[in-house]
């Protein structure tokens, strides 16, 4: 007989790991115990088949688990009489918190089965599905440490919870209609009074069918829902949310209700049906019947499948039959006010969302940690949140505990401990008190869950960033990391790269060490430092920040730089005087010569803004990156041509100029070339120019061994990403891109943390 003391680390709590161990031990007639600890799962096990136990544990663990490390110590047998699950232990380290998981097929079948005691129950769950991160107050992950602690299990639920052979054995959120959470309907608009009765879910369905808008409390916060085919109600919601043209997310009951509207590929199908259930962006079909106001001027639509029991009930209540859903598709957008975090508490929804909706569907299972839906486009994260957070990212070496506060747009923060980076969910844009409060709320939670006490803070170099100002207000040392260096380092962190590598960073704006606005940068990068090798030609931003919101200003600047004395005629022929007004355009032309009001920027995003305005697509961005998104939406496959560009050597760096591109593009436009062709040729030109630049730089900087990392929000343009990556690989480069975090500014905190850990790492004592 052998006895092993086993310590397991990874995602092993809240995923049915202890019940799995218990049942496996019983099956193999082994004795001992299993428990949760703050470090993971501990197993003390003895018997004649312990080696077989370990083999099975490694080869086929529970489906939601992820084992990172197993440590086994052989000990003298103790003579245990049975195998049991014992009370969780507190220890001084941490284990990984499981993300929230969509409803499993077993629970869905039970919920739609009229003979089941949980028929139509909106909070059904088991060991393999349901809320995790959003309800976890502290570790270990046991019911008293979740928001379910206020619900005492009835006899039947307790029997399931204590039965090792039951799927709900030690399922912490276990509940039923007798003892668990419940839903409540609140009508705000009396116009729908005649449609409502006593059933909260039936009332919700009736209001939506009648053209109403309803706020629905979900897993990580509130959604705002309406009929996705009703143009009038979608436009009304858009006006209420003051969201202008920003796309709304969609939810369909089944894949078969998505496929008529968009092109669904295998990867997208797999993501849609995974237990993480992100919003997945797909190219719209010409036959699409979704209301145009869902995503104006955008060739992509974002779909998700239901991921909570309550979502499924919106489609299949009250019959439970999946033949004819109540709706073929619903708008399911974040329940928040413009630029504020998602609302997650009932009282908050009743006050903050009342101007947006006609009714609310509430429930009384508290959401402790609000978390938005994740968004993925052709394998690229746009937003990393529900379903993926707070999964840690392995950094390789151990290092000091640090906090990186990220950038102000699409903010996330990153904490580090031991070999891991724990990155927060999407926080939002740091431009109001509510978002700062959310930042602090999530920070305190993750510090507590993972027992992290940072010794140092990393922040962006930009002096006006609220995130930097917050960092400086803390009583810890702060290191400022350049924005584009952090972008490159985020990719390096994901792939475990030490450098040096080439970093090609394409984004809108980042503060440079020289005090100017950088944006399209080619850097020589390692884990602690960088050197600027090349950039796009600087463009004047007339009026500074206003030019970012009003692309026509940048277009005037770009055209003046390209055409000189011919600019007035070009502006007139392009329709700027008619669209904007000649006086305003002339004023901006004068402002271009005032450096105190018009800073220079090398931002790639600004070039894309300008081109979109030149083609008459967008003169004013109603949401971030609207102009580049509209430009991308015009791209057509099968066009290989591009325009001319200029690569010249400056004092210390190479400069890519696109003035020739603009001249040729405008010439095409004047000759009535289709804007789809012009857009595609423009994108091709950016790829051609950067590829030529990298080939030249690789000869001068062989130390990089032809390794390139790509980052920045412009690489959310998947046509540009695919084409550039392919062009580089054809020329012998090894290309690295983000796999687990977005390329936009959400990745900045990970890069900052990676750089800071290595800068102070030599003083770290293991």
Reported as a single tens digit per residue, the pLDDT across 506-520 is 999 999 999 999 999
User: Tokens 């095409």 belong to which residue?
Assistant: 668
d(CA 388, CA 271): 12
Q: pLDDT-based confidence at 351, cuts 50/70/90?
A: very high
Long-range pairs for 395-398: beta carbons < 8 A, 24 or more residues apart: 395/419, 395/420, 395/421, 395/493, 395/496, 395/754, 395/757, 396/496, 397/761, 398/764, 398/766
pLDDT of residue 496: 95
Contact 677, 639 (CB under 8 A): yes
Could you give the strand order of the β-sheet that contains 66-75, starting from the edge strand earlier in sequence? 66-75, 2-11, 40-47, 31-37, 83-85
Structural domains for the chain: 2-85 (3.30.70.100), 183-376 (3.90.870.40), 388-499+745-763 (3.30.420.360), 535-736 (3.30.420.40)
- 168 CB-near residues (< 8 Å, 6+ apart): 126, 127, 157, 160, 161, 174
pLDDT of residue 765: 43
Contact 581, 621 (CB under 8 A): no
Handedness of CA 427, 429, 432, 436 (dihedral sign): positive
Q: Using DSSP, how many helices (H) and how many strands (E) does the chain show?
A: 23, 30
Contact 524, 701 (CB under 8 A): yes
581, burial (CB in 10 Å: exposed 0-12, middle 13-18, buried 19+): exposed
pLDDT of residue 341: 95
| Letter string b/e over residues 380-396, b meaning 16 or more CB atoms within 10 A of that residue's CB | bbbbbbbbbbbbbbebe
pLDDT of residue 93: 61
Strand, helix or coil for residue 369 = coil
Q: Which of 272, 252, 278, 257 is nearest to 330 (CA)?
A: 252
| Residue 314 clears pLDDT 50, i.e. is over it | yes
| Residue 764 clears pLDDT 60, i.e. is over it | no
User: Tokens 């429930």 belong to which residue?
Assistant: 363
Residue 709 has a CB neighbour count (10 Å cut-off) of 26
Q: Provide the whole-model pTM.
A: 0.94
Q: pLDDT-based confidence at 585, cuts 50/70/90?
A: very high
Residue 468 has a CB neighbour count (10 Å cut-off) of 23
Q: pLDDT-based confidence at 684, cuts 50/70/90?
A: very high
pLDDT of residue 91: 58
| Residue 439 clears pLDDT 60, i.e. is over it | yes
Q: Which of 354, 398, 604 is nearest to 487 (CA)?
A: 604
User: Tokens 């299990």 belong to which residue?
Assistant: 153
pLDDT of residue 39: 77
Residue 67 — φ and ψ, nearest 5°? -85, 125
Identify the residue with better confidence: 140 or 405.
405
Mean of pLDDT over the chain: 95
pLDDT of residue 763: 56
| 214-217 vs 66-75, strand pairing mode | unpaired
Contact 209, 326 (CB under 8 A): yes
| Residue 766 clears pLDDT 60, i.e. is over it | no
Q: Which tokens is 95 given?
A: 């284990």
User: What is the percent of the chain with per-residue pLDDT over 70, rounded to a whole number?
Assistant: 98
Residue 66 has a CB neighbour count (10 Å cut-off) of 14
What's 126's DSSP letter? B
Q: pLDDT-based confidence at 396, cuts 50/70/90?
A: confident
- Residues 259-300 have pLDDT tens digits of 999 999 999 999 999 999 999 999 999 999 999 999 999 999
Region label for 405, one of left (φ > 0), alpha (ψ between -120 and 50) or beta (otherwise): alpha
293, burial (CB in 10 Å: exposed 0-12, middle 13-18, buried 19+): buried
d(CA 404, CA 270): 33
pLDDT of residue 36: 85
pLDDT of residue 126: 96
d(CA 425, CA 442): 8
């Amino acid at each position: 007989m052998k006895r092993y003391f086993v310590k397991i680390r990874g995602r092993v709590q809240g995923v049915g790991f202890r019940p799995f161990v218990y049942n496996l031990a019983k099956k193999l007639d082994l004795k001992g115990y299993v428990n949760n600890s703050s470090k993971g799962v501990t197993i003390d096990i003895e018997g004649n088949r312990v080696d077989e136990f370990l083999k099975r544990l490694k080869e086929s663990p529970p489906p939601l688990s992820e084992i990172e490390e197993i440590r086994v110590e052989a000990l003298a047998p103790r003579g245990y009489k049975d195998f049991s699950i014992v009370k969780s232990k507190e220890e001084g380290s941490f284990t990984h918190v499981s993300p929230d998981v969509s409803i499993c097929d077993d629970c869905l079948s039970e919920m739609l089965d009229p003979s089941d005691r949980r028929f139509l129950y909106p909070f059904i769950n088991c060991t393999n599905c349901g809320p995790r991160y959003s309800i976890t107050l502290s570790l270990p992950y046991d019911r008293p440490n979740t928001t379910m602690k206020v619900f005492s299990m009835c006899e039947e639920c307790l029997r399931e919870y204590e039965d090792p052979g039951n799927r709900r054995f030690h399922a912490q959120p276990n509940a039923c209609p007798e003892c668990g959470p419940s839903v409540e309907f609140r009508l705000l608009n009396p116009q729908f009074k005649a449609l409502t009765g006593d059933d909260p879910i039936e009332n919700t369905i009736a209001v939506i069918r009648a053209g109403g808008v309803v706020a629905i409390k979900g897993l990580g916060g509130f959604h705002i829902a309406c009929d996705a085919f009703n143009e009038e109600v979608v436009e009304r919601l858009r006006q209420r949310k003051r969201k202008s043209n920003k796309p709304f997310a969609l939810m369909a009951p089944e894949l078969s209700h998505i496929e008529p509207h968009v092109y669904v590929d295998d990867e997208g199908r797999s993501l849609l049906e995974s237990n993480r259930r992100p919003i997945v962006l797909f190219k719209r079909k010409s036959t699409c019947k979704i209301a145009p106001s869902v995503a104006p001027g955008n060739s992509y639509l974002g779909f998700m499948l239901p991921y909570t029991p309550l979502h499924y009930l919106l489609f299949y209540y009250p019959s439970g039959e999946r033949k004819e859903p109540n709706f073929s598709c619903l708008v399911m957008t974040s329940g928040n006010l413009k630029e504020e975090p998602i609302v997650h508490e009932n009282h908050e929804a009743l006050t903050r969302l009342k101007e947006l909706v006609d009714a609310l569907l509430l429930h009384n299972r508290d959401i402790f940690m609000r978390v938005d839906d994740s968004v993925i486009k052709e394998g690229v994260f746009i937003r990393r949140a529900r379903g993926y957070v707070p999964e840690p990212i392995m950094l390789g070496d151990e290092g000091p505990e640090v906090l990186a506060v990220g950038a102000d747009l699409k903010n996330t923060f990153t904490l580090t401990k031991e070999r891991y980076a724990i990155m927060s969910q999407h926080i939002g844009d740091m431009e109001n008190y509510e978002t700062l409060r959310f930042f602090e709320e999530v920070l305190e939670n993750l510090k507590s869950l993972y027992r992290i006490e940072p010794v140092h803070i990393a922040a962006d170099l930009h002096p006006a960033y609220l995130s930097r100002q917050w960092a400086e207000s803390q009583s810890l040392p702060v290191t400022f990391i350049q924005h584009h260096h952090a972008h490159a380092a985020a990719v390096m962190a994901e792939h475990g790269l030490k450098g040096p590598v080439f970093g090609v960073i394409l984004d809108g704006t980042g503060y440079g060490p020289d005090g100017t606005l950088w944006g399209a940068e080619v850097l020589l990068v390692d884990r602690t430092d960088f050197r600027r090798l090349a950039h796009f030609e600087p463009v004047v931003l007339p009026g500074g920040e206003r030019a970012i919101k009003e692309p026509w200003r940048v277009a005037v600047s770009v055209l003046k730089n390209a055409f000189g004395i011919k600019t007035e005629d070009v502006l007139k022929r392009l329709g700027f005087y008619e669209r904007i007004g000649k006086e305003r355009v002339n004023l901006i032309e004068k402002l271009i010569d005032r450096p105190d009001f018009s800073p220079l920027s090398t931002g790639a995003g600004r070039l894309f803004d300008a081109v979109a305005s030149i083609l008459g697509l967008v003169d004013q961005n109603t949401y971030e990156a609207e102009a580049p998104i509209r430009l991308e939406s015009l791209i057509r496959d099968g066009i290989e041509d591009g325009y001319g560009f200029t690569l010249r050597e400056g004092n210390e760096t190479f400069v890519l100029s696109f003035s020739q591109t603009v001249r040729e593009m405008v010439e095409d436009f004047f000759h009535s070339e289709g804007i789809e062709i012009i857009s595609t040729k423009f994108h091709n030109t950016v790829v051609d120019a950067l590829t030529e630049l990298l080939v030249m730089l690789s000869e001068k900087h062989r130390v990089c061994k032809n390794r390139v990392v790509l980052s920045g929000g412009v690489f959310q343009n998947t046509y540009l990403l695919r084409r550039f990556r392919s062009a580089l690989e054809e020329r012998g480069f090894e290309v690295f891109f983000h796999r687990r975090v977005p390329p936009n500014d959400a990745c900045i905190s990970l890069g900052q943390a990676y750089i800071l850990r290595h800068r102070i790492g030599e003083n770290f004592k293991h």
